[in-house]
Amino acid sequence: MWDGGRALTGGVDQATITSVRAGGGDIVPSFGGASGTNVETSCTSATALAGAYQAVINAYGLKAIDIDIEGSTYSNTTIQQRVVDALKIIKTNNAGFTVYVTFPSGTNGPDSGMINRAAASG
């Protein structure tokens, strides 16, 4: 479900994606963000999180996703590692798939925690 309340397929989201594609465009869904319920918190393991991402990838035949790591959710080191590990599973299971990561940045630059975890995880 989108935002815990809208069906993944058959609704306005799928209709919009179909319309965008019919016009020659494509979409890159963004997970995370500063507000709302994040799937990264709802899923308690990297495998479950990768499964949630994969369900959306499969439902829409996606070529890419974006992970927007802003907000208090991503200050949690357990969640940071869960996201990194889930994205590694996604990249392994989807040849040629692109993952974008949007980092928030303050006056001191981005939080290096996610960057360092991703680098350490390969």
Q: One digit per residue, pLDDT tens: the chain, 122 residues?
A: 787 788 889 999 999 999 999 999 999 999 887 777 788 888 999 999 999 999 999 999 999 999 988 777 777 888 889 999 999 999 999 999 999 988 777 777 777 777 888 888 88
> Structure pTM?
0.88
40 is catalytic: no
Among 66, 68, 70, 111, the one annotated catalytic: 70
Alpha-carbon distances, residue 30 vs 65, 74, 95, 101, 112 (angstroms): 6, 15, 20, 9, 21
